[in-house]
Amino acid sequence: MALLEVDGVGLEFGGIRALDDLEFTVEAGEICALIGPNGAGKTTLFNCVSRVYTPQRGSIRFDGRELLTLPPHRVARAGVGRTFQNLALFPALTVLQNVMVGAYSRGRGGAWSDALRLPGVARRERRLAREGSELLERLSLDHLGDQPASDLPYGTLKRIEIARALASQPRLLLLDEPAAGLTHSEVEELGGTIRQIRDDFELTVLLVEHHMPLVMSISDRVVVLDLGRKLAEGTADAVSQDPQVIAAYLGAEL
Amino acid sequence: MRGRALGIGTRAGAALLTVGVLAWLPQYYGATDTALFAKAIYIAIAALGLNLLTGYNGQVSIGHGAFFGFGAYATAILMNDHGWDFLATLPVVAVASFVVGAAVGFPALRVKGLYLALITLGLAALFPDLVTKYVHGTGGTTLVQPPLPTSPGWAQGFAPNDDQWRYYLALTIGIVMFILAWNLVRGRFGRALLAVRDHDAAASTIGIDLARIKVGSFAISALYAGIAGSVGVMVTGLANAGRVETFQLSINFLVAVVIGGTATVLGPVVGAWTFVFLERATQDLFPDQALLSPAIFGVALILLLFALPDGIVGGARRTGRFARRKLQARRAPRAPDFPSPIREDRQ
Amino acid sequence: MDLNLFFSQLLNGLSSGAIYASLALAIVLIFRTTGILNFAQGEMALFSTYVTWWLADQGLSIGLAIAISVAVSFVGGAVIERVVIRPFEKASPLVIVIATLGLFLALNSLTQVVFGTDAKQLGSAFPDTVWDVWGLRIEAQTIGILVVLGLECVALWVLFQRTRIGLALRAVADNPEASRLLGVRVGTMLMFGWGLSAALGSLAGAMVVPTTQALTASSLQSVLVFAFAAAALGGFDSPLGAVVAGLIVGIARALTIQYIEPLNNIELVVPFAIILVVLLVKPAGLFGSTQVERV
Amino acid sequence: MSLLEVVDLSAAYGPIQVLHGISLTVDAGEVVVVLGANGAGKTTALRAISGLVAAKGELRFDGVSILGRHPESIAHRGVSHVPQGRGTLAGLTVDENMRLGAYSRRDREGIAADLAEWYDTFPPLAKRRSQTAGTMSGGEQQMLAVARSLMSRPRLLLLDEPSLGLAPLVTKQLFETLATVNRERGIAMLLVEQNAALALELAARGYVLEAGEIVASGTAENLSRDGEIRKAYLGR
Amino acid sequence: SGGGRSSSSSPGSGSTSTKGGIVDASNCPGSETEGVSGTTIKLGTSLPQSGLYSAFTEILKGESAYFSYLNQELGGVEVDGKKYTIDLVAKDDAYQADRTVANVTALVNDDKVFALFNVVGTKNNLAIRDFVNRQCVPNLFAATGSPAWGDVKYPWVLGSELVPYPLEAKALFDYLEKNSPSAKVAILRASDDFGRAYSETFRSLIKGSKITIAKEETYNPEQSDTKSQVTSLAATNADVLLLGATLLACPDALQNVKASGWKPMTYMSGTCTSKTLMALAGDAADGVMSVTDIMEPGLAAWADEPAMKLYLDKIAKYAPDADAENGIVAYGWTTGALLAETLHRSPSLTRQAVMETARTLKASDVGLLMPGVTLSVSAKDWFLGEMFSLAQYRTALGHFELVGSVLDFSGHTAKITPPDLIGG
Ligand SMILES: Nc1ncnc2c1ncn2[C@@H]1O[C@H](COP(=O)(O)OP(=O)(O)OP(=O)(O)O)[C@@H](O)[C@H]1O
Ligand SMILES: Nc1ncnc2c1ncn2[C@@H]1O[C@H](COP(=O)(O)OP(=O)(O)OP(=O)(O)O)[C@@H](O)[C@H]1O
Ligand SMILES: [Mg+2]
Ligand SMILES: [Mg+2]
């Protein structure tokens, strides 16, 4: 059974069909890239999976479990983490706190225990801080822990988002254009990082990206979207040779 | 929250000193001033709670005067009609205001920002009418005047006068509420509050239940306002709810939060004291030109905000950070965040 | 049911609703152009109305007095923006709201200092004719206010949807920095928006006050709550919404007073219950546009 | 005399100095690229030029100092800035955004003609004329930002990562469009771009910005031959 | 107002007062002659001078003018053979009870006033009632017509010459019994204690009579718009309208009644009779009934009264910016005169003596009191303004005309007032 099964998902906004009977699967452990022209519906799909949007048709199963019946905050608990195309960090929190709050779905305890600072609370806070620092270190962000997560360079913020998503220890990580705005060398480094975390955390990665070299170099499989439908699917090489994909997305030569 | 500005020791010292000064105030100052200090304390309690809602969670309420009134009437009626002890009313008020707050905060699930603020305004407008309709207090008015707690025998040493004793009661409650708020924002719940404020969609995708946080912060802030109301009754001896007063209280809490510094724990407290003294000072400025005092207060408020747009505590913090950065910058001229991919000495 | 009574109350509701609506329009306008909630709206209108009164008291015809006061208020609004609000350009919206509260206090008390605390009488711009239509008493006053409101709505719609300056106003409210880069003079637009809103407020005051016996420092405060309610119910960015909602609030209030005896004294419950229900279904009000935030 | 002259320009956010005296020029009708790593200060440089960030040094456009001027008056002189993060007016429709692009113009026919032309060039925008800009996909908004800028018929276009979030095909088309615009209308451009290969193809000259200082400059050709730059920005 | 904390005086200490009499001062803290120094008596008052009710400032102008006249032209008030000038310290409370409490605490503790005088507002006076009682500070002539001042547990507070609201209801009832014994009455009243005093008293009075209540509507006192309420009442077509309203709601209701075409005989609260409010009502006020015990300044009928001449003359001199024709200025003046009279009659200048004097007062010809009106209180009777005259407004003349002779309800207020409006 595939880890993520997107099945007949359809979503319209007014007259615009953002997703049109979309169907594809992501296998456990793979890095699957989702590419397609602007407005093809990639981000919209992410939004459906993380329940920011509710599709009008279809089903999305994660590990056999229907996600569309869950409230949004349950999705993280079910094991799905994501980043955002347009940054969505919490600027009032420091970088480390952003990562710590990322672990929210794993914790428990509410306002009362916090307010009374029950014994477990201090211990939990120390543990979260330690785990957060480790994640930051892994994404070479450790020197920024105490900075507010605003006004940092774009690429840095994107990486903080990855760290925050990882903090929930997801099984499926949705990355929306993580390479946007990075220089070539930074993209290469990012590619390495994604592979590394996939291996270390036994993650499955669904990656939306327009940076084709990155897609080619790290994805096990590529799904191409156009007009809300699946246009093609296969290995990076195969897909990039597909005339339909070239016509709709890549352009004549690559 | 960002980086430790001061060491733990310094902080503890400062806290002790502050509490010491607060405890000394009614020993030196007379009853009139002590009542003013006590007022600052109960406004601070309400502002502490409102700050959790507005500062930390980004939901503006211009109706917390109603929760204050609710707490005030609950305490006053329990004491007056049922003979309860003041302290015994507190847990009841806390629970009841929490529940009412949750009920009132319920629309927050869907309604946001200004629209929510307007619903709370409706609450502030409605509450006095409800009181007028259902409360028959002294002389047929809406005033309920419970007997005030008096200084017990064992406290004669430090609080021979009742007003002193009441101040100390208020102070103790204030300190407890402050510590609770302090703890609250420093943990998982506090981070969630800020996360929901800054980006609710992102917050929900990391597993934060928006409904719970939004309604929860509403309920907690209502609890604070309710307790503040109880303390207010204990200090002034009356529960009252005119429309102007209820609206004005709601605004006062908000003013205290903003001039103290939103989303800081200390801010509302500093803001409340500043507010109370500013108000008093503008009233005293031209005693026989009373009509002018609101104008002077209004202008002073605008000037204060202009000088410190992020509040007194926020401003102090910013200055501190600025100074520290400047200092660091002088020591180590430039510490780029990133190693340069290209040698720096080119060109 | 006594139909005549029902329609009389409906008319009462319309006439007080028209009053709420006129102030609500000013609130909506300033929100539309600057994105903030102006607590001082009522007091700005109050001051303007005193100016109108003063001009009329000097012997000017009421029409002329209103016209001059509207012009003066436009300038006054623009000056307030420049002097009081502009310094808060970079501050958070909450700080600006509190600043408008400061303005509220200052204006209310200054009005009393300047014009005195005693009640003033302000003539109406409309004749005090009452038409008797099938036993219903329809006041020219009410019809007059409704016509003015209708005209204001159309004018605002044209301004916002059909003119360059209206587009610029909306752009500034949406994103000042991006507007700057497009060459929109943000400061001028904000002053224009405040001026316009103050002018509308002045007009509202001149229409409202003659229906409330006398002009005092509290003349507009009692209306303000309902005006805010109307703005929320209609949608903060919709002039048409403000008018429709103002009328709804007025009518709801009148009918409650007549027909729901248990809610005597607390008839305020009804408009707010309506708002609550509407907002739960449509979180941006009846006619407001929902700001979709994409992620 | 160059169209844009930047001499020893520095800028800071509060206590943090970001630009440490950079100098660059753009001639009339010339395309100049700025390369640089994340956080190097590229965005800050463009913001300083268009007046969004206070700066020190010298800043001249068309021979006139524009240092300390308001962004709107700089825009009126013919400098159009496509900011990083697009700066779309999210609550307005695509069409309204486009019309605001032409805010500083008064020629009705010209505006109508340009509108038709850019809708033609960016078909996704034409399809979404009445959609609220904020609801569009990232790439669509990026197209809008560029097209809107072109509506003002600027003399100098400041482009901050215009290809961010664009599909490869659209990126290519965008650069073709920019080349055409530059060729046919003589619009000068100062371009910050991470797709260095395409940018260097378009540009005549370039600068490399590191940690707030210009560390390299030269013709596009020379820069693309430089080993270090190839490694960091081109990957070939 | 600063001031350190001085060691407190415990109850009873330093008290030289005598037990017994009407006012018991045996448990009083502080000095009996506090606030009297040399030849000055310091008094304190709290009233709205800012905010929505700032129009009440005019009261202060009236009373201050009287005290200026007293101090400067009469050399002060003579108490026990010695002349004292009066120094009135006024504080603004914006009509908010908690600010009244703060003001009065400061007046007593810091300003050390001898007594409180003419504090405005029912709630405001109730809020300080316990405090003044405990401190034994006379709170003289509280400016409210509430029946609450009849509570025997609070001897240190005494209402002013305003007609108690329940008595107005009684006057109307008596009038109807005589002239229209089976009248159908509609009530429009403020939704607060003020409005309740009218409606509850009237309701209790009509028990057993043929007079019935057609309908009662309330309005929110912070919103003087009464149109819908009047429409609702007009639909009953009742014979009589009892208007338990105040301030702008009075002319508003009258105009709405007129506009509705309904023509009831209208009785309106005595708090509305001021020239300003009546002028606002214009035609609509013609024929409205009310009560009065003070001469309305500016009316031709009183123009030749020496008291009126004195008043107009001294207001022009000492309070030139006040509107002498405004009824509440006249009220302030009269109350000032009443205080001077009370002090003058007091056997000695102690708080207890003054309070006892006030509590046994019988006075006429004070200030602008109408000829024939005597204010009286006694051990059994706790209300001053129980003599007054019915009056009817004539728009054509621009003033009220007295209807019948002066009515004497001395000692009645407590009897007819529903108990929860007094105690509780
Ligand atoms: N809330 C919304 N309202 C209206 N239209 C929407 C909304 N969200 C998305 N769309 C439309 O749906 C389509 C798909 O958008 P989506 O963001 O998924 O594209 P994408 O594939 O992520 O594109 P890009 O590569 O540019 O990010 C777009 O045409 C967009 O305009
Ligand atoms: N508003 C701000 N306040 C404080 N520091 C800022 C602010 N904006 C940017 N910075 C800092 O200034 C430096 C330069 O930022 P800038 O955005 O100019 O870089 P850039 O070269 O455009 O990088 P990017 O790839 O992120 O676009 C960064 O270190 C950043 O953290
Ligand atoms: Mg996308
Ligand atoms: Mg940048």
Q: Which of D84, D167, D233 sits opposite A38 (nearest CB)?
A: D167
Residue E315 pLDDT greater than 80, yes or no: yes
pLDDT, tens digit, 9 for 90 and up, residues C195-224: 999 999 999 999 888 887 789 888 888 888
Q: Which of D76, D99, D135 sits opposite C167 (nearest CB)?
A: D99
E27: closest CA among E347, E342, E343, E351? E351
| Chains contacting A (3 or more CB pairs within 8 Å) | B, C, D
C31/B292 CB distance under 8 A? no
pLDDT, tens digit, 9 for 90 and up, residues B59-115: 999 999 999 999 999 999 999 999 999 999 999 999 999 999 999 999 988 888 889
Residue A225 CA: nearest ligand 1 atom is 21
- Please give the structure tokens belonging to residue E334: 């009269």
Residue D140 CA: nearest ligand 1 atom is 26
* 3+ Cβ–Cβ pairs closer than 8 Å linking B and D: yes
Q: What is the DSSP letter of D158?
A: E
Q: What is the DSSP letter of E365?
A: S
D165/A37 CB distance under 8 A? no
pLDDT, tens digit, 9 for 90 and up, residues B127-136: 999 999 899 8
Residue E219: C-alpha distances to residues B200, D38, E192, E290, E374 (Å): 43, 66, 9, 20, 34
Mean of pLDDT values over A63-84 = 95
Ligand 2 centroid from CA D76, angstroms: 26
Chain C residue nearest residue A50, CA to CA: C295
Residue B331 pLDDT greater than 80, yes or no: no
- Please give the structure tokens belonging to residue B53: 């809602």
Ligand 3 centroid from CA D144, angstroms: 15
Instruction: List for chain A the helix, strand, coil content (%; round to 5).
Output: 45, 25, 35
pLDDT at C292: 66
Mean of pLDDT values over B325-343 = 50
B141/E192 CB distance under 8 A? yes
CA E100/CA E96 separation, integer angstroms: 6
CA B46/CA B69 separation, integer angstroms: 11
In degrees rounded to 5, what are phi and psi of residue E188?
Answer: -120, 120
Q: What are the sequence ranges of the domains in chain C?
A: 3-219
Residue E3 pLDDT greater than 60, yes or no: no
- Please give the structure tokens belonging to residue E125: 């006076």
Q: What is the DSSP letter of B52?
A: I
pLDDT at E6: 60
Do the Cβ atoms of D169 and A251 come closer than 8 Å?
yes
Mean of pLDDT values over B299-316 = 93
The percentage of chain C sitting over the pLDDT mark of 90, rounded to a whole number, equals 65
What rounded mean pLDDT belongs to chain E? Answer: 89
Residue E345 pLDDT greater than 80, yes or no: yes
B299/C279 CB distance under 8 A? no
Q: Which of D84, D168, D234 sits opposite A250 (nearest CB)?
A: D168
Chain E residue nearest residue B279, CA to CA: E99
Give the residue whose CA is nearest to atom 22 of ligand 1.
A43
pLDDT, tens digit, 9 for 90 and up, residues A195-219: 999 999 999 999 999 999 999 999 9
pLDDT at E29: 82
Ligand 3 centroid from CA B4, angstroms: 38
E116: closest CA among E12, E61, E38, E41? E41
Residue numbers in D near C236 (CB within 8 A): none
Give the residue whose CA is nearest to atom 12 of ligand 2.
D18
pLDDT, tens digit, 9 for 90 and up, residues E175-185: 999 999 999 99
ipTM of the complex: 0.94
> pTM of this prediction?
0.94
- Please give the structure tokens belonging to residue C59: 């012997």
CA A128/CA A132 separation, integer angstroms: 6
pLDDT at B270: 97
Can you say how many angstroms the Cα of residue C127 is from the centroid of all Cα atoms in its chain?
A: 22
Task: Give A182's contacts (C-beta < 8 A, 6+ positions apart).
Answer: A155, A158, A190, D38, D194
Q: What are the sequence ranges of the domains in chain D?
A: 4-78+154-234, 90-153
Site residues for ligand 2, CB cut-off 6 Å: A 151-155, 181; B 337; D 13, 16, 18, 36, 38-44, 84
Do the Cβ atoms of D112 and D95 come closer than 8 Å?
no
Looking at CA atoms only, how far is residue A19 from chain B in angstroms? 20
Give the residue whose CA is nearest to atom 22 of ligand 2.
D43
Residue D200 pLDDT greater than 90, yes or no: yes
Q: Is D135 touching B (CB cutoff 8 A)?
A: no
D92/C289 CB distance under 8 A? no
pLDDT at B330: 60
The neighbouring-strand residues paired with D26 are D4
Residue E12 pLDDT greater than 60, yes or no: no
Q: What is the DSSP letter of E296?
A: P
Residue B304 lies inside a defined structural domain of this protein: yes
| Interface-testing mutation among A117, A140, A152, A169, with chain B (most B C-beta atoms within 10 A) | A117
Q: Using CB atoms within 10 A of its CB, is residue B82 exposed (0-12), middle (13-18) or buried (19+)?
A: exposed
**Angle of CA points C121, C218, E274, to nearest 5°:** 50
Residue B172 lies inside a defined structural domain of this protein: yes
H or E element, residue C128: none
DSSP reduced 3-state for E84: strand
For residue B92, the domain's CATH number is 1.10.3470
pLDDT at B2: 43
Give the confidence band of A253 by pLDDT, cuts at 50, 70, 90.
low
Ligand 4 centroid from CA A187, angstroms: 16
In the block, tokens 């329609």 appear at C7
Could you tell which of A6, A9, A13 is best to mutate to test the pocket of ligand 1, judged by most ligand atoms within 8 Å of the CB?
A13
Q: Which long-range CB contacts under 8 A does E100-103 form with residues at least 24 apart?
A: E100/E46, E100/E124, E100/E125, E100/E127, E100/E128, E101/B236, E101/B237, E101/B238, E101/E127, E101/E128, E101/E131, E102/B32, E102/B35, E102/B36, E103/E44, E103/E46
pLDDT at D132: 92
pLDDT at E335: 96
CATH number belonging to domain D4-78+154-234: 3.40.50.300
- Taking a contact as any Cβ pair under 8 Å apart, which residues of chain A between 63 and 92 contact chain C? 84-86, 88
- Taking a contact as any Cβ pair under 8 Å apart, which residues of chain A between 121 and 160 contact chain D? 151-156
Task: Give C33's contacts (C-beta < 8 A, 6+ positions apart).
Answer: C169, C170, C172, C173, C189, C190, C192, C193, C194, C196, C197
pLDDT at B329: 64
Give the confidence band of E296 by pLDDT, cuts at 50, 70, 90.
confident
Ligand 4 centroid from CA D37, angstroms: 9
- Please give the structure tokens belonging to residue E224: 């003087």
Q: Is E16 touching C (CB cutoff 8 A)?
A: no
Closest listed ligand to the CA of A151: 2
* DSSP codes, B298-347: HHHHHHHHHH-TTHHHHHHHHHHHHHHHHHHHHHSS---SS--SS-TT--
Do the Cβ atoms of B50 and B208 come closer than 8 Å?
no
**Which has the higher per-residue pLDDT, B27 or E32?**
B27
| Interface-testing mutation among D23, D210, D226, D234, with chain B (most B C-beta atoms within 10 A) | D210
Q: Which of E101, E122, E147 sits opposite B236 (nearest CB)?
A: E101
In terms of residue numbers, what domain contains B31? 18-327
pLDDT at A254: 44
Q: Helix D138-150 and helix D168-185: axis angle, to 10°? A: 0
Domains of chain A: 4-92+157-250 (3.40.50.300)
- Please give the structure tokens belonging to residue B181: 């708020």
pLDDT, tens digit, 9 for 90 and up, residues B205-244: 999 999 999 999 999 999 999 999 999 999 999 999 988 8
Ligand 1 centroid from CA A43, angstroms: 7
B138/E96 CB distance under 8 A? no
C116: closest CA among C216, C49, C185? C216
pLDDT at B27: 94
Chain B residue nearest residue C286, CA to CA: B115
Give the residue whose CA is nearest to atom 8 of ligand 1.
D135
Residue D141 CA: nearest ligand 1 atom is 26
Residue B342 pLDDT greater than 50, yes or no: no
Give the residue whose CA is nearest to atom 23 of ligand 2.
D39
Mean of pLDDT values over C238-260 = 93
What rounded mean pLDDT belongs to chain C? Answer: 91
H or E element, residue C222: helix C221-234
Give the residue whose CA is nearest to atom 18 of ligand 2.
D41
Residue B180 pLDDT greater than 60, yes or no: yes
pLDDT at D24: 96
B121/C104 CB distance under 8 A? no
**Angle of CA points E68, E69, E75, to nearest 5°:** 95
The neighbouring-strand residues paired with E268 are E243
Mean of pLDDT values over E94-109 = 93
Residue B336 lies inside a defined structural domain of this protein: no
Ligand 1 centroid from CA A161, angstroms: 21
Number of domains in chain B: 1
Give the residue whose CA is nearest to atom 6 of ligand 2.
A151
Looking at CA atoms only, how far is residue A14 from chain C in angstroms? 13
